A = this chain, B = another copy of it.
Amino acid sequence: MLGVAEARVLAVADPNTQAAEAARTLLRAEKVYAEPEEAIRHPGVEAVVIVTPTDTHARYIELAALAGKAIFCEKPVAKDLGETRRVLEVVRRKGVPFQIGFQRRYDPPYQQAKSKIEAGEIGQVEQFIAVMRDPAPAPLEYLKGSGGIFIDQSIHDIDCARFLVGEVEEVHAWGAVRVDPQIGEIGDVDTTNLSLRFTNGALGVIQNSRRAVYGYDVRTEVFGSGGKLVMDATPKTPLWQYGSGVKADHYHFFMDRFKEAYRLELEAFFRFLSRGETPTPGARDALESLRIALAATRSLKEGRAVRLEEVT
């Protein structure tokens, strides 16, 4: 596989045959299938990388687990807690390695931040701030089936909060429709304020928006008794233009901001497998982030703070 010495791509599956062929050429795959199930069942396949639309994740995870294959799946497992639990229980029962695609955990600045926090370099964590704004709203059709902004977008910041600070015990959410009234009409919001109270006593804030005209905006700050860490997103390249003011460029979207992280998380997955280690982030991370996102959704609807223990 791309720069991953431990792995090679045996089969590619895509109902779009043209895309499948392109992938085969690029990845030097032996086989191409239109139906993912066939690829999963191929006896030579030891690990499955699922990067299909969200509502097919649960089905392929289950198939792969039943076939005894290691699984890497893009987030989320599913949009509701019941289905997520059911499928992850199959994974657990079959004992197959499972990694969920929270790529930011493999982004070098976030990785270093994690190491520094664990090494005590900023002392006891006291505050957390995460901002993520997409360059433009996804198509309305997609948003309708997305489960809402907290489950679809905020969940990356939520996972990041758990990764860097710890478990969450209470949330309070506000939302507004500022970008596109149609988003309001389908019962969702496009602009959010999410307060987090961590079980260790720290307070956090996540602010999201569906539109930032200047590009993908992602910034995370962890503040502690001994210092602060900021993972910023600018500039994209260290090229500065001096003309009317001083100007730098900005990331377009998550694909260019986290390009390296996507590569590193896959490398990590195969390295975990080749060493017989447990992949991370795993099933629990998939589940807990969804619970927090669901609590946020409930808080927004009911106009009150929601404790995580209410979401079962």
A residues engaging B (CB < 8 A)? 2-3, 5, 8, 22, 25-26, 28, 108-109, 112-113, 116, 121-124, 126-127, 129, 131, 133, 172, 174-176, 178-179, 191-193, 195, 197, 201-205, 207, 209, 211-214, 217, 221, 223, 225-235, 237-250, 303-305
Contact = CB atoms under 8 A, between A and B. Distances in A.
Contacts of A237: 108-109, 112
B229 A203 contact: no
Contact of A238 (B172, B211, B226, B233): B233
7 contacts: A2-B3, A172-B195, A175-B203, A176-B202, A227-B243, A232-B240, A246-B250
B246 A249 contact: yes
Contacts of A234: 238, 242, 246
Given A174-B203, A178-B202, A239 B229 contact: yes
A158 to B, nearest CB: 16
A242 B227 contact: yes
With a 10 A CB-CB cut-off, give which of A3, A124, A202, A240 has the most chain B CB atoms: A240
A70 B237 CA distance: 32
Nearest to A226: B213
Contact of A239 (B25, B109, B176): B109
Given A126-B209, A223-B212, A230 B203 contact: no
Chain copies in complex: 4
Contacts of A8: 28
Contacts of A231: 238-239
Given A174-B172, A207-B129, A243 B109 contact: no
Contacts of A113: 239
A213 B241 contact: no
Given A191-B126, A195-B174, A232-B238, A226 B243 contact: yes
B242 A214 contact: yes
Given A3-B3, A213-B225, 10 more contacts: A129-B205, A174-B197, A175-B203, A176-B201, A230-B239, A232-B238, A233-B238, A234-B242, A242-B250, A245-B250
Nearest to A190: B126
Given A193-B203, A195-B193, A228-B212, A243 B127 contact: no
